Amino acid sequence: MRYGHFDDEQREYAIERPDTPLPWINYLGCEDHFGIISNTGGGYSFYRDARLRRLTRYRYNSTPLDTGGRCLYLRDDAAEVGATPLVWSPSWQPVRRELDQYECRHGMGYTLIRSRLQGIEADIRYFVPLGDSLEIWEVTIANRRSRPANLSLFAAVEFCLWDALDDASNFQRNLSVGEVEVVEGVIYHKSEYRERRNHFAFFACSAEVAGFDTQREAFLGPYRGWESPSGVQAGLLSNSIAHGWQPIGAQHTRLQLKPDEAKTVVFLLGYHENPPDDKFDPAGSQVLSKRSLTPIIARYRQPQEVEAAFLALRHYWDELLGKLSVTTPDPHTNRMVNIWNVYQVMTTFNLSRSASYFESGVGRGMGFRDSNQDLLGFVHLAPERARQRILDLAATQLPSGGAYHQYQPLTKLGNNDIGSGFNDDPLWLVLSLAAYIKETADWDILDEPVPYDSNPELAEPLYGHLQRSMQYTLDRLGPHGLPLIGRADWNDCLNLNSFSDTPGESFQTTTNKDGKVAESVFIAGLFVLAAQEMVGIARHRGEADAFSDAASKIEDAIWAAGWDGAWFRRAYDDSGNPIGSKECEEGQIFIEPQGVCVMAGLGVEDGRAQRALDAVADRLATVHGIVLHQPAYSRYYLHLGEISSYPPGYKENAGIFCHTNPWIMIAETRIGRGDRAYDYYLRINPSTREDLSDVHRCEPYVYAQMIAGRDAPAHGEAKNSWLTGSAAWNYVAITQWILGIRPTFEGLEVAPVMPSTWDGFKAERYFRGVRYLIQVERTGPGNEIRLEVDGHPIEGTVVTLPPVGTQEVRVIAKVGPG
Ligand code: BGC
Ligand code: NOJ
């Protein structure tokens, strides 16, 4: 069952009814100012940091789902006096009055909601313009009745007192600090501006306002909710000025529309900063200075400026999406590669795991492991931004080579609450940096001085950071010569040193063992993979390669202690017993080491890779994707930690992680099995799952972190959509390995391992300033590849850089026997 459809031409997903199984959301904003918006206008906005600069309040896990947010109300003022007035929300929520027509279209950085009730049409466009810190709601109301319409339009938001966690807990203070100003129809939210803050929020309206409210209770009425504010019911707001309690912004404007007349009203919800020493106007007063903001508001109050800003946003996305576009025989592949997967990659780059409908914005900052992996799919989109991100991440590395597990986007400082000790973390930096250099050939980045622990005095060239990342693993080897796992590796919940028996304790920061025994085969595979990148980098720098010997030793250790006979083991626990082995009662085989070890090339030549991947197919693959392990843990194991805290089939306890599935897709291409790789790709591709929306339940246009595994009663149900490494990894798997268009240090490689049923595909790729027009033709079975570049056959599969000045390169790849 579906709730909407893809409109690939417009690059939109059109939702046809408001009551989707879960709120289906989109993101507004691409730079510093962000909003999360659901298909009924729910969600919230923030500036850069979802926790510390939250503009509007949002109640997670509320009933009904997704109330509050961007509230719009229409009231038919002509309804007879005495009768209950006709009031509705053109975005359905919060009033939830049934609409005659409804459609929500999520597009690239904007959302459109269109609806109609009793001949009144509403057309709302929400977006954040490039270069400014505000959200625009452009509301057009048209009268399709045969008689004039007298309407009231209300817009309302509830302000958050900046720190979203404090806002939801510190009521003894917060209910007394709220302050606003209202000047010329603009509502300014300035709580705490009197003291140390130099920023405020504003809510403006382009039309003449008939009234406003800034105190929540005045607007809603006592003991009433957002679905029926008394001010809206009455058609009259009380011009309340909030002192403490709950500051809101509610605007009221009246619309008189002749038959077929339409009017547009623009609401602006924004954030603004003043210089700390120039906060008040006049100086010495307590009145906030509006000097630098006034021109911005004036600009966006004009519809033609709004239109221009929207076109600029469309153009920005045209450019980004144009970096790689493909035409394959499969529409699901095309739309994910060309539109939605890229879009999600950009979103994870911007927000890491901080703010979604499953991430409350108060918990996590930028993950070190996460952000490095997000870069793998992002480097070609905005290389300068990728460069900065890499430098920011590396600056939070510790002198030991270890890394803070997370850092706060606002301060860029490592987060001390979580600290370090996730032993896979530093290796991901090697992978992201290699991906960045392969894309850009910006070798100079390696010589950039970068601090450790954000301390400029501890700076050293970035290359040194890479070496320390590698050395970090080698300094921490366990009894089998495999890397020690620390608090956890990629699987956050495999906490082999935690031994936590206290309810509520964090599994990841609780360490009751000294960590000298438990080892990770996954980190071992990741080290071998990273060492291969280090070889390529050292070679280019003309330096001795310092890590291949170490990598061969680790490979030996994998074969000696990490191979179970038919697949790779997962780890060793604190007692030195294997995890992910046929010897185990539960958790006999895990997906992660099969993926990473084969990606690193282990067993590819001698058939062991194939055996491992066959074991994955036999034991882990389901119609909804590949589960993390089998059998699921049926009870809590003290020595395994959080992984066994989840009921079987959910999350890390044998859920389907859309993040790890692409590792298997890539591994399958490493052994030439394009059909298998592509089959796995389609099983979790959100677009192919659109028809199953009643089972899948999350948005059909983006990946979710997890789909419930076969042990769960809700097998096939997705959770934690949007902010997940699944975005980058699926993008890498399909574009670089199945379609085979892969940047290397030397140039662009074209080496598809595509399904046998395809007779080819076309692609256009901008790479290092050159436009590559790629045409792949299948000439028969198999994956043998012959390349022609601009009409000339070349050796191998890497197209080295064309002579300077060449703007276009035509590559024809013939796949199959010669
Ligand atoms: C786990 C959470 C954990 C988080 C931390 C998730 O995948 O299931 O319980 O807190 O990762 O990164
Ligand atoms: C989510 C975390 O953000 C990511 O870092 C981790 O690898 C996965 N969970 C798996 O545990």
Each residue of 503-551: pLDDT tens digit? 999 999 999 999 999 999 999 999 999 999 999 999 999 999 889 999 9
Place of tokens 């100003």: 181
Q: Is the pLDDT of residue 83 over 80?
A: no
Q: Is 493 in the pocket of ligand 1 (CB under 6 A)?
A: yes
Q: Is 508 in the pocket of ligand 2 (CB under 6 A)?
A: no
Residue 759 is which amino acid?
Answer: D
Q: Is the pLDDT of residue 117 over 80?
A: yes
Task: Write the DSSP symbol of residue 803.
Answer: P
Residue among 772, 784, 702, 769 at smallest CA distance from 742: 772
Query: What's the token pair of residue 673?
Result: 């099995």
Q: What is the CA radius of gyration of the chain?
A: 28
Cβ pair 120, 151 in contact under 8 A: yes
Q: Is 592 in the pocket of ligand 1 (CB under 6 A)?
A: no
Long-range pairs, 84-90, Cβ under 8 A, ≥24: 84/233, 85/233, 85/235, 86/118, 87/228, 87/232, 87/233, 88/117, 89/40, 89/41, 90/115, 90/117, 90/122, 90/124, 90/139, 90/141
- The number of the ligand 1 atom at minimal distance from the alpha carbon of 367 is 12
Which ligand sits nearest to residue 369's alpha carbon? 2
Residue nearest to atom 12 of ligand 1 (CA): 492
Residue 574's pLDDT is 98
Q: Is 586 in the pocket of ligand 1 (CB under 6 A)?
A: no
> What integer is the mean pLDDT of 24-38?
97
Cβ pair 185, 227 in contact under 8 A: no
Residue 381 dihedral angles phi and psi, to the nearest 5°: -80, -50
The β-bridge partners of 267 are 137, 205
Q: For helices 341-351 and 368-376, what crossing angle results, to 10°?
A: 150
Cβ pair 797, 785 in contact under 8 A: yes
Q: Where does 50-119 show beta strands of DSSP type E?
A: 54-56, 71-76, 86-88, 101-107, 110-117
Residue 410's pLDDT is 83
CB count, 10 Å around CB of 335?
A: 20
Residue 805's pLDDT is 76
Task: Give the Å distance between the CA of 199 and the centre of ligand 1.
Answer: 33
Residue nearest to atom 6 of ligand 1 (CA): 492
Task: Write the DSSP symbol of residue 737.
Answer: I
Pairing outcome for strands 808-815 and 770-778: parallel
The β-bridge partners of 585 are none
Tell me how far apart the alpha carbons of residues 103 and 523 are, in angstroms, rounded to a whole number: 47
> What integer is the mean pLDDT of 150-156?
98
Q: pLDDT tens for residues 422-453?
A: 999 999 999 999 999 999 999 999 999 999 99
The dihedral sign for the CA sequence 607, 608, 614, 618 = positive
Q: pLDDT tens for residues 618-662?
A: 999 999 999 999 999 999 999 999 999 999 999 999 999 999 999
From residue 793, how far is each of 789, 798, 814, 818 by CA, in Å? Answer: 6, 12, 11, 13
Tell me how far apart the alpha carbons of residues 326 and 334 are, in angstroms, rounded to a whole number: 6
Tell me how far apart the alpha carbons of residues 175 and 534 are, in angstroms, rounded to a whole number: 55
Place of tokens 């600290």: 419
Q: Is the pLDDT of residue 365 over 90?
A: no
pLDDT, the chain, mean:
97
Q: Is the pLDDT of residue 326 over 90?
A: yes
Q: pLDDT tens for residues 453-481?
A: 999 999 999 999 999 999 999 999 999 99
Tell me how far apart the alpha carbons of residues 77 and 149 are, in angstroms, rounded to a whole number: 8
> What integer is the mean pLDDT of 51-78?
95
Tell me how far apart the alpha carbons of residues 24 and 20 are, in angstroms, rounded to a whole number: 7
Task: Give the Å distance between the CA of 484 and the centre of ligand 1.
Answer: 20
Q: Is the pLDDT of residue 818 over 80?
A: no
Q: Is the pLDDT of residue 121 over 70?
A: yes
Q: Is 696 in the pocket of ligand 1 (CB under 6 A)?
A: no
Q: Is 723 in the pocket of ligand 2 (CB under 6 A)?
A: no
Residue 479 dihedral angles phi and psi, to the nearest 5°: -60, -30
> What integer is the mean pLDDT of 156-183?
98
Collapsing DSSP to helix, strand or coil, 349 comes out as helix
Task: Give the Å distance between the CA of 378 and the centre of ligand 2.
Answer: 18
Q: Is the pLDDT of residue 812 over 70?
A: yes
Residue 408's pLDDT is 84
Tell me how far apart the alpha carbons of residues 620 and 600 are, in angstroms, rounded to a whole number: 21
Q: pLDDT tens for residues 224-253?
A: 999 999 999 999 999 999 999 999 999 999
Pocket test for ligand 2, best of 659, 719, 723 (most atoms within 8 A of CB): 659
Q: Is the pLDDT of residue 80 over 90?
A: no
Q: Which residues of 787-804 are buried (b: 16+ CB within 10 A; e: fewer)?
A: bebeeeeeeebbbeebee
Q: Is 364 in the pocket of ligand 2 (CB under 6 A)?
A: no
Task: Write the DSSP symbol of residue 576.
Answer: S
Active site residues: 492
Residue 82's pLDDT is 66
Tell me how far apart the alpha carbons of residues 301 and 747 are, in angstroms, rounded to a whole number: 48
Q: If residue 171 lies in a helix (H) or strand (E), which one and from where to where? A: helix 171-174
Place of tokens 């894309």: 439
Query: What's the token pair of residue 740?
Result: 């085979």
- The number of the ligand 2 atom at minimal distance from the alpha carbon of 353 is 3
Collapsing DSSP to helix, strand or coil, 611 comes out as helix
Residue 247 is which amino acid?
Answer: P
Query: What's the token pair of residue 555?
Result: 């490979």
Q: Is the pLDDT of residue 81 over 60?
A: no
CB count, 10 Å around CB of 295?
A: 9
> What integer is the mean pLDDT of 50-69?
95
Which ligand sits nearest to residue 645's alpha carbon? 1
Residue 364's pLDDT is 76
Place of tokens 């229409």: 74
The β-bridge partners of 268 are 136, 204
Residue nearest to atom 4 of ligand 1 (CA): 492
Three-state secondary structure readout of 451-508: EECCEEEEEEEHHHHHHHHHHHHHCCECCCCCEECECCCCCCCCCCCCCCCCCCCCCC
The β-bridge partners of 366 are 407
> What integer is the mean pLDDT of 583-603?
98
The dihedral sign for the CA sequence 482, 484, 489, 493 = positive
Give residue 781's pLDDT band: very low, low, confident or very high (50, 70, 90): very high
Pocket test for ligand 2, best of 418, 490, 508 (most atoms within 8 A of CB): 490
Q: Is the pLDDT of residue 86 over 60?
A: yes
Task: Write the DSSP symbol of residue 49.
Answer: -
Angle at the Cα of 555 (from 553 to 560), degrees rounded to 5?
Answer: 95
Place of tokens 């006709």: 86
> What integer is the mean pLDDT of 52-73?
96
Counting residues of the chain whose pLDDT is more than 90, the rounded percentage is 96
Task: Give the Å distance between the CA of 660 and the centre of ligand 2.
Answer: 10
- The number of the ligand 2 atom at minimal distance from the alpha carbon of 652 is 11
Residue nearest to atom 7 of ligand 1 (CA): 492
Task: Give the Å distance between the CA of 493 and the centre of ligand 2.
Answer: 8
Which ligand sits nearest to residue 363's alpha carbon? 1
Pocket test for ligand 2, best of 366, 369, 493 (most atoms within 8 A of CB): 369
Residue among 177, 175, 179 at smallest CA distance from 189: 179
Cβ pair 405, 419 in contact under 8 A: yes
Residue 793 dihedral angles phi and psi, to the nearest 5°: -65, 140
Q: Is 651 in the pocket of ligand 1 (CB under 6 A)?
A: yes
Pocket test for ligand 1, best of 492, 494, 642, 720 (most atoms within 8 A of CB): 492
Helices (H), 275-424: 294-300, 303-321, 331-335, 341-351, 368-376, 383-395
Q: If residue 432 lies in a helix (H) or strand (E), which one and from where to where? A: helix 425-440
Query: What's the token pair of residue 335?
Result: 């739309």
Task: Write the DSSP symbol of residue 208.
Answer: P
Q: If residue 120 lies in a helix (H) or strand (E), which one and from where to where? A: strand 120-127
- The number of the ligand 2 atom at minimal distance from the alpha carbon of 370 is 5
Helices (H), 488-642: 521-541, 548-557, 591-599, 608-619
